[in-house]
Structure 1
Amino acid sequence: MPLGCGVECAALMRQQQLAPAPRRRLAHSPCSMQAGRGAAEGATPHVKARGAHGGTPRKGSHEKSPVSAEGLSAASGYEADALTAPQPQQQQPGGLQVPTLPLLEGLVSDTVAGAGVGAFGWQKRWTVVALCFVAFVLCNLDRVNMSVAILPMASQYGWDAATMGLVQSSFFWGYLLTQVAGGVLADRYGGRLVLGLGVLWWSLATALTPVAAAAGLPALLLARCLMGVGEGVAMPAMNALLAKWVPGGERSRSLALVYSGMFIGSVVGLGASPHMLNAFGWQSVFYVFGSLGVAWHFVWRSQVRSSPAEDSSLHPEERAYILANTPNSSREKAGAIPWRALLSRREVWAIILTHFCHNWGLFILLTWMPAYYNQVLGLNLTQSGLLSVLPWVAQAVMANVAGWAADGLVERGVSVTTVRKVMQSIGLLGPAFFLSQLGGVTSATGAVLCMIGSQGLDAFSQAGLYANHTDIGPRYAGVLLGLSNTAGVLAGVLGSLATGFLLQAGGDAGGWSNVWTVAVGFYLAGTAIWLSMSSGEKIFD
């Protein structure tokens, strides 16, 4: 319809006192261009139907959804929190007011409001996700540098193997302490503050590591423990922050991108540290990586706020879009944590127990993979280090594939519960299959392919249990992740210790076979727990 004709029709309707049904134009998102994802929650009482990521998931969301009263498709699997509220009429240059009729709203709003201001281009929430991604790159950069630097440090300070193990484990002493505390603080005071202070804290501890090592072993152990304290808050604080910033239809891929930062950090750290060490000494890896975190902190403070409501620079269209597609409870800071209610639900225990089972095998691969290449396949440490990087590259790539696939399934109407169960089952059964094949592998190529397959499919967990905390309890997303990650870290510590005992008892050949058998058993147990106990529906308001 020509624009002039539309203006005349609108003027005639106004003269006849016929009110056209107004319809608000939704902010566009390149990540989710679904119509009908809702307007600002509570904007109008006409219809109140909440979706899985913006409220309570509706039953039968795997079936094709009907068309809403205003012709908006609800087939995404999430119903809008509310249909659109009436908008003010647009003012034309000549003084004539034009209602935003459905056939004209695109032309009018683009012409009058100005296209590209908030509806198109770079969105502020992507900045938040990107900076979280960089924080997680730094997290593993600062974690793996010790695994490279410890050899020259041991030579310089005369450490034996037991002392080296003590230094390596001291990080986890602090890391275990702040998982739950980090979630509680983030839910109460905001993820921006907690994550920002956490990165600054662990970066300063990393940069001071050479000074602490020169002061003596107790000072070094304290520095590594303090570094663990800082890193322990990262995951729960990030989860609490993104629960407020990321719309439901973008959650899986956003979390997958952030978590893939850890894998990329491992790749970069393991690849760059040997060259820095040879060129500038082992101290350089701590000074350089620690300084990067301090610089990140200042960018973070200037660019990020704890919620869209607190960000005055956020475009109104993007704010409305985010608020329409995130649950009300995620925007409220948690008061007293209902521990009894949280720990009485099987859905919470599904996350905690599955996280334990998942991390048993994951941490074995993280800490023992170079030793396996060296002891079983006869590769030197340089070759082992190079081959150890490849599975992490696969995991970084596949985590993002899984995130986009999960969001795509949800947008096509598959229930969130089904998506989470499918993704996590792949993340457990895939590694179980490939690790079970290692007993018959005798070549380095075969072993590396099994490791790549194992960690590549393990990455589907990023769209499974790692995305499930916000599904079931958006207000307590940080606390829930803190609880489950405490179990995950505990599994890593116990798994690494158990691997040492199994290798000592069974030798290089038989011992490794026992290691893989136990890991496969935990993967299978985790699958059974997840399929029988987990849910993608919101449990806590």
Structure 2
Amino acid sequence: MALGGLISNRNFGSFIGSGNGCQRLGKSGAEVSKLFPNALLCRNHQPLQASLHHESGHMRRSFGCFLQPRMDSIIRFRNSIKINRSRAYYKSEESDITEGVVPSADGSAEAILVEGNLQNASPWWQQFPRRWVIVLLCFSSFLLCNMDRVNMSIAILPMSQEYNWSSATVGLIQSSFFWGYLLTQILGGIWADKFGGKVVLGFGVVWWSFATIMTPIAARLGLPFLLVVRAFMGIGEGVAMPAMNNMLSKWIPVSERSRSLALVYSGMYLGSVTGLAFSPMLITKFGWPSVFYSFGSLGSIWFLLWLKFAYSSPKDDPDLSEEEKKVILGGSKPREPVTVIPWKLILSKPPVWALIISHFCHNWGTFILLTWMPTYYNQVLKFNLTESGLLCVLPWLTMAVFANIGGWIADTLVSRGLSITNVRKIMQSIGFLGPAFFLSQLSHVKTPAMAVLCMACSQGSDAFSQSGLYSNHQDIGPRYAGVLLGLSNTAGVLAGVFGTAATGYILQRGSWDDVFKVAVALYLIGTLVWNLFATGEKILD
């Protein structure tokens, strides 16, 4: 990209000499490197050595330098007899940089108008890839998503004491979130594919942040108001995953897909860690309403950054460089927004059903561990409530770490030539068989420490699913990625609802071994279905 820069001899003395430039030109090239980092190298061992030649009454200095790594050029400097005049001539093989003389701002000399590739002169934050700005914003939105979701699990304890809620009422309040969450899984995908992920995800964060702030007010008004607000919060969070998936399908090339999704989903895990860590402190010091007010207000800060830096697709971003646009698009043209969803075509594809069934099998075990783990620690391992709460953080941390490790491994395998289909099957097989193995060992361990280790390893291997089924929506139908994730995640949420309820039913008549056996059986079914019918090839266009 051709850029124009105005360079005066005051600020660029070691590059462009004035009348007394003999002394200035002897300065180290480090001054130049500040403006062109890693760009300027000299052929001589000494910096900018000069050869003096008398020619027609003029003193000429010739310098042999070249620009690396992008340009191989010769820079020649000429000082005229007039003390305060200087010129620079530049010749490049890839781009021509022309010279011009304009008055200097300090009046001591003339400045030079330079046109050419000065990309390396921009600050590092301007050179940071725009696509990874989108990834980091999505990561932070998912961090807020789970912070706002888990705070109720801590705040419900003092709230139930204050309002004298029974266990049945507490269960009703906890489940009301899923009423709205289920409602917008598919709708969120449709809206994102039609209107763009920026609009839908921005709407979702503002909506659930407002609902979070309104929670203490609704609780004081009465139980029906609280149930409605919690359902409204679920509506906002329900669009987050489909909208994010829609955006990354447009912004992230295949070679970076696994690690970008792993980073975004690790935001959910770290959000749970943050929420579980800070909620007790805020409640103890400021009371339970402070959790909802403080966490909810963070959404407004995120929304301002989202409005400033986010775009639904690369073609909408005016600041995106041509180089990065080529990396993102890979020679393909950006597609127009979806106007009609081909439901019959989508539901006729076996890989789509492999996604739906596998998502159900995956979330059954995952939701059981996340919702019933404190009870298991307390009843079976005999930890007190404080210890149980602290140990609940461990699986989330493990998942955050292993999700990013799995993403890096998956992208490395793709870059080394392994087919996307095989990579997705390998990663998801680890995400199924790992938890199945470690959960089956819980009935054989003898110490609480080993049981906690098995739980952590189960969740750690589960995190490889982020590079398996959670990345597959963008593989098989990038244009309908939001709808596909809405479909499969609806099945996943249903698995969480039914699995959580079924666990309570099983525990009344059986044991924890029976609970884990059901989860292991579903993990094995998911492994079989995934490896038989899943693909990494595009099947929807």
TM-score under structure 1 length normalisation: 0.78
Cα distance in 1, alignment partners of residues 204 and 185 from structure 2: 12
Cα distance in 1, alignment partners of residues 526 and 519 from structure 2: 11
Letter of the 2:471 partner, please give it.
Answer: A
> Which of 469, 474, 486 is matched with 1:470 structurally?
474
Please list the CA deviations of residues 448-499 of structure 1 after superposition, one character each: whole Å capped at 9, or x if unmatched.
1001110000000000000000000010000000000000000000000000
2:93 corresponds in structure 1 to 98
Cα distance in 1, alignment partners of residues 192 and 389 from structure 2: 36
> Which of 453, 458, 470 is matched with 2:457 structurally?
453
Q: For structure 2, list consecutive stretches of 5 or more residues without a partner in the other structure.
A: 1-72, 76-87, 96-114
1:14 corresponds in structure 2 to none
Matched position secondary structure for 2:437 = helix
Cα distance in 2, alignment partners of residues 471 and 491 from structure 1: 24
Letter of the 1:129 partner, please give it.
Answer: V
1:248 aligns with 2:243: no
What fraction of aligned residue pairs are identical, expressed as a percent?
60
Higher-Rg structure is 2
Q: Kindly tell me the number of residue pairs found equivalent between the two proteins.
A: 438
Structure-2 change in CA distance of 1:413 and 1:165 (3 Å) = same
1:313 corresponds in structure 2 to 319
> Which of 152, 163, 167 is matched with 1:146 structurally?
152
Matched position secondary structure for 1:334 = coil
Q: Which has the higher strand share?
A: 2
> Which of 242, 260, 271 is matched with 1:265 structurally?
271
2:226 corresponds in structure 1 to 220
Q: CA deviation at 1:435?
A: 0.4
Counterparts in 2 of 1:191-202, with a 5 A limit?
Answer: 191-202=197-208
Matched position secondary structure for 1:306 = coil
Matched position secondary structure for 1:331 = coil
Q: CA deviation at 1:96?
A: 6.1
1:537 aligns with 2:541: no
1:483 corresponds in structure 2 to 487
Counterparts in 2 of 1:202-217, with a 5 A limit?
Answer: 202-217=208-223
Cα distance in 1, alignment partners of residues 187 and 121 from structure 2: 40
* Higher RCO structure, 1 or 2 (CA under 8 Å, sep 6+): 1
Asked if 2 retains the 8 angstrom alpha-carbon contact of 1:118 and 1:316, the reply is no
Please list the CA deviations of residues 337-393 of structure 1 after superposition, one character each: whole Å capped at 9, or x if unmatched.
000000000010010000000000000011000000001111111100111111110
> Which of 384, 387, 406 is matched with 2:388 structurally?
384
1:163 aligns with 2:172: no
Cα distance in 2, alignment partners of residues 282 and 95 from structure 1: 67
TM-score under structure 2 length normalisation: 0.78
Please list the CA deviations of residues 249-306 of structure 1 after superposition, one character each: whole Å capped at 9, or x if unmatched.
1110000000000000011111111111111101011000000012211110111111
Please list the CA deviations of residues 312-332 of structure 1 after superposition, one character each: whole Å capped at 9, or x if unmatched.
12222222322226x54x633
2:182 corresponds in structure 1 to 176
Letter of the 1:301 partner, please give it.
Answer: L
2:358 corresponds in structure 1 to 354
> Which of 430, 433, 438 is matched with 1:429 structurally?
433
1:367 corresponds in structure 2 to 371
2:283 corresponds in structure 1 to 277
Cα distance in 1, alignment partners of residues 218 and 323 from structure 2: 50
Q: CA deviation at 1:97?
A: 7.1
Please list the CA deviations of residues 214-258 of structure 1 after superposition, one character each: whole Å capped at 9, or x if unmatched.
000000000000000000000000000011111111110000000
Please list the CA deviations of residues 390-438 of structure 1 after superposition, one character each: whole Å capped at 9, or x if unmatched.
1110100000000011000000000000000000000000000000011
Letter of the 1:98 partner, please give it.
Answer: E
Cα distance in 1, alignment partners of residues 74 and 223 from structure 2: 72
Please list the CA deviations of residues 78-126 of structure 1 after superposition, one character each: whole Å capped at 9, or x if unmatched.
xxxxxxxxxxxx99975867358xxxxxxxxxx9412436897311111
Matched position secondary structure for 2:536 = coil
2:516 corresponds in structure 1 to 516
2:400 corresponds in structure 1 to 396
2:342 corresponds in structure 1 to 338
Q: CA deviation at 1:335?
A: 1.4
1:70 corresponds in structure 2 to none
Matched position secondary structure for 1:195 = helix
Asked if 2 retains the 8 angstrom alpha-carbon contact of 1:119 and 1:317, the reply is no
Counterparts in 2 of 1:43-192, with a 5 A limit?
Answer: 94=89, 98=93, 112-116=116-120, 121-192=127-198
Letter of the 1:422 partner, please give it.
Answer: I
Cα distance in 2, alignment partners of residues 486 and 502 from structure 1: 24
1:528 corresponds in structure 2 to 528
Matched position secondary structure for 2:418 = coil
Structure-2 change in CA distance of 1:401 and 1:97 (3 Å) = closer
Cα distance in 1, alignment partners of residues 165 and 292 from structure 2: 19
Matched position secondary structure for 1:438 = coil
Matched position secondary structure for 2:472 = helix
Q: CA deviation at 1:444?
A: 1.8
- Segment drifting more, 460-469 vs 439-448: 439-448
Matched position secondary structure for 1:441 = coil
Structure-2 change in CA distance of 1:118 and 1:478 (3 Å) = farther
Q: For structure 1, list consecutive stretches of 5 or more residues without a partner in the other structure.
A: 1-89, 101-110
1:230 corresponds in structure 2 to 236
Matched position secondary structure for 1:314 = coil
Cα distance in 2, alignment partners of residues 455 and 125 from structure 1: 29
2:417 corresponds in structure 1 to 413
Letter of the 1:444 partner, please give it.
Answer: P
Structure-2 change in CA distance of 1:114 and 1:294 (3 Å) = same
Letter of the 2:269 partner, please give it.
Answer: F
> Which of 486, 505, 515 is matched with 1:501 structurally?
505
Q: RMSD between aligned alpha carbons?
A: 2.0
Letter of the 2:522 partner, please give it.
Answer: F
Cα distance in 1, alignment partners of residues 483 and 224 from structure 2: 32
Asked if 2 retains the 8 angstrom alpha-carbon contact of 1:398 and 1:459, the reply is yes
Q: CA deviation at 1:171?
A: 0.2
